[in-house]
Amino acid sequence: MSSTRPPARPGLTLHRRIAEIAATQWDLCAGDDNPFVSHAFLCALEDSGSVDARTGWLPQHMVLRMADGSIAAVAPMYVKSHSFGEYVFDQQWARAFEDAGGAYYPKLQVAVPFSPVPGPRLLVRADLRGDAHMARTLIAALRQVCGELGLSSTHVTFCEPGEYDLMGDEGWLQRLGVQYHWDNPGYGGFDDFLGTLASRKRKTLRRERRDANNCGLVFETLRGPDITEELWDHFYRFYLSTVDRKWGSAYLRRPFFSLLSQRLGARVVLMIARQQDGTPVAGALNLMGRDTLYGRNWGCERGDWPFLHFELCYYRAMDFAISHGLRRVEAGAQGEHKLQRGYRPCLTHSAHWIEHPGLRHAVAEFLGHERTAILGEMQALDAMTPYRTSD
């Protein structure tokens, strides 16, 4: 991957390691709502070797400083030599540009690596978040860095709707996607949720939970420091096994999971299924934000237990959210089977700046057609949820 040079704008710096930026100042910008943009999470990716130039994710974290030297805004940013681990797929754009003689890679990615989790990407210090000028300054800086480094494009993926709108106003291309989230309006227990479902669907979910809990496994939920290194060893095998079956490339390295426990503490929520002899056989990793539980990774090493995936990843996540007063469970992308378990389709947002006028025009046309299809799909997906319809 090509080397980079610092930008010319006063007060703007790029950093090849997030450790170069004080954690306290980064987190003043990131806030504590979403753990994926925290200094601890991003640093764990780098310190574990999961994210670096060798893996095609070269950190170029952006920092904007005030005249007094204090940090006003940051953005988690990477120079990418491929499009893996992003979950907003632009490989067709890359092939089309390269077939026409262009060079799509390297590109800039403002994102959380390997994590299709919506959240803030333009991280502005709390006392400045109402200042639209500061956000626009950060957006302009992204374009400036893209041009100065001679890159094809900048992609801000899984951003918040307000950021999406602001970047659209600034001329960025906008892209929609679909994920599945479960909302908790204040249920007193899982039965309260079941009471909102159509009768036939309610019976199905009860049967799935009954069968999963009667198959001889023992379930437990552990948090942060209570997760032992031995248990992380088991979970990492689950993770590798699932990756091998579905995707064929494991992005995360074993030390990353240990660092999560050490640095994020009780925000790490691991749900484990064990055999009667205590041997772990499956696990689901979640991170907890201020009001949301985020499903992260799942894996099962061996055996064929009925509805284990649904119980461990979806139903127990709902139980946890209800008992801890969380408003939402985000189960991520893919899998219309989530709809039948009460997870509703939700739009995700990304914004893209493309330097080449011809490629920009072609992508804009593609996104226009895609947006129409996605909005139509959203209506069809919402009709597939199990909730009772009003008369």
Residue recorded with tokens 């309006």: 185
Same domain as 283, residue 159: no
What residues form DSSP beta bridges with 173?
Answer: 352
User: pLDDT value at position 246?
Assistant: 55
Q: What is the pLDDT of residues 256-294, one digit of tens each?
A: 999 999 999 999 999 999 999 999 999 999 999 999 999
- 320 lies in some domain: yes
Domain co-membership, 17 together with 162: yes
The number of folded domains in the chain is 2
Domain limits for position 158: 12-178+346-382
- In 3D, which of 173, 4, 147 has the Cα closest to residue 93? 173
CB 371 within 8 A of CB 365: no
Q: Do 39 and 99 lie in a common domain? A: yes
Does residue 387 belong to any structural domain of this protein?
no
- Number of other CB atoms surrounding residue 280 within 10 Å: 21
> Residue 337: its pLDDT value, please?
86
Q: Residues 6 or more apart from 101 whose CB is under 8 A from it?
A: none
Residues 6+ apart with CB under 8 A from 75: 61, 62, 110, 121, 122, 123, 138, 142
Give the predicted TM-score (pTM) of the model. 0.94
The owner of tokens 């493309």 is 354
CATH number, domain with residue 145: 3.40.630.30
Same domain, 20 and 167: yes
Give the Cα separation of 376 and 383 in Å (integer): 11
pLDDT of residue 391: 43
Helices (H), the chain: 23-30, 39-47, 91-99, 132-148, 161-169, 190-194, 199-213, 229-246, 254-264, 308-309, 316-323, 357-382
Side chain identity at residue 25, one-letter code: Q
- For residue 142, is it within any domain? yes
Which residue bears the tokens 């003689």? 101
Q: Is residue 269 within 8 Å of residue 287, measured between CB atoms?
A: yes
**Domain identity same for 309 and 375:** no
- pLDDT score, position 336: 76
Do 119 and 166 lie in one domain? The reply is yes
Strand spans (E) along 152-291: 153-159, 173-183, 218-223, 268-274, 280-288
Strands across the sheet with 268-274, in order?
Answer: 57-59, 77-80, 107-110, 153-159, 344-354, 173-183, 328-330, 292-300, 280-288, 268-274, 218-223
Task: Check whether residue 138 and residue 157 sit in a common domain.
Answer: yes
In a domain, 336, yes or no: no
Residue 129 has a pLDDT of: 86
Query: Does residue 338 lie within any of the structural domains?
Result: no
| Per-chain mean pLDDT for the chain | 92
Same domain, 96 and 71: yes
Three-state secondary-structure class, residue 378: helix
Residues 162 and 17 in one domain: yes
42's CB contacts (< 8 A; 6+ apart) are: 18, 51, 76, 112
| Tokens standing for residue 167 | 């970047």
Return the pLDDT at 1: 46
- 341 is a domain residue: no
Ranges of the chain whose pLDDT falls below 50 = 1-8, 391
Residues 254 and 365 in one domain: no
Answer with the one of 296, 326, 356 that is the final residue of a domain.
Answer: 326
What confidence score (pLDDT) does residue 9 get? Answer: 57
Domain annotation covers residue 390:
no
Residues 169 and 315 in one domain: no
Task: Establish if 251 belongs to a structural domain.
Answer: yes
Question: Does 153 lie in the same domain as 240?
Answer: no
